[in-house]
A = this chain, B = another copy of it.
Amino acid sequence: MKKDLRTMDHLMYMEYYTGRNAGIFMKIKKMLHSYQSPYQRIDIFEHPDFGKVFALDGITMMTEVDEFMYHEMLVHVPLFVHPEPRRVLIIGGGDGGSLREALKHPSIEEAILCEIDPYVIEAAKKYLPTAVEMDNPKAKIVNENGAEFIKKYKDYFDAIIVDSTDPTAGEGGHLFTKEFYKNCFEALKEDGVFSAETEDPFYDKGWVAIAYNRISSAFPISKLYTGFMTTYPSGLWTYVFASKKYHPIDDFDPSRVQNFDHQLKYYNEDIHKACFVLPNFIKELINE
């Protein structure tokens, strides 16, 4: 039998954490896809322990075994604060993990996934198990620049979830501007909720504070929260919840989580509250 030449035990994936002389390495069991799209370098490979690994411009977006940590925390925190989210917009999130989590909420009627790069969608559908809900009739996938797409909507969405890549990579930078956050505010209904990934506060501490301050300037309510994300730089990931009306803890009803039909792997009603408790060094970073 002919040897599968794509099976390469001698290859290694190495992510250099931005400007940090350090990073993570992972053995490549099988290279599945490696493509330079007009926007970014897309790599998908099989790891002996982590399953499929997906990277953009050499930055790990997800591994099959731990993507739940990131996607559950990014999506369920806002969607369990809003009492009945019907229309949700996910910006970025081309692997489909955030879409999958959002569609677990039975009230969702329309979920738009706005991923700039059609080649990411194509690769995700072919290789990534997270893409499982992309053909759901409630889902609509558009390939546009999220920072432009958002301008088309006013007073429309119940929730907006920003699942971007790093501000320093690919097209991520557009999704970290003051103007973009302001446009998200405008596109939300009067009781709309918002969440965004806002980087790690150890290797990339500058961006956490910048993103938090910019979001805070656009929304009356904004709170930083954290979660473990084991294959992202530092394992400590931050997110910002923001909203026009609902407070993430005072307006949170834990019984909705207890009665949820889906078994989640990370998020629960106690995590919802605990994730807003910040270590001192993160409080200092955002002057809280």
Majority DSSP secondary structure for residues of A touching B: loop
Q: Is the CB of B280 within 8 A of A277?
A: no
Q: Cβ of A21: which chain B residues have Cβ within 8 Å of it? A: 26-27, 29, 47-49
Q: How far is the CA of A21 from the CA of B264 in the complex (A)?
A: 27
Please give, as numbers and ranges, the residues of chain B lying within 8 Å of A229 by CB-CB distance.
235
**At the interface, yes or no: A14 with Cβ under 8 Å from chain B?**
yes
0/1 string, A147-180, CB within 8 A of B gives 1:
0000000000000000000000000000000000
Q: Is the CB of B66 within 8 A of A49?
A: no
Q: Which of B25, B27, B265, B280 contacts A14 (CB 8 A)?
A: B25
Q: Could you list some 30 contacts between A and B, CB below 8 A?
A: A14-B25, A21-B27, A21-B47, A21-B48, A21-B49, A22-B27, A22-B47, A22-B49, A25-B25, A66-B202, A200-B230, A226-B228, A228-B228, A228-B279, A229-B235, A235-B235, A235-B236, A263-B280, A265-B279, A265-B281, A266-B279, A266-B281, A267-B280, A268-B279, A268-B280, A271-B277, A271-B279, A273-B274, A274-B274, A274-B277
Interface residues in chain A, defined as those with a beta carbon under 8 Å from any beta carbon in chain B: 14, 20-27, 29, 47-50, 66, 68-69, 200, 202-203, 226, 228-231, 234-236, 263-268, 270-271, 273-275, 277-281
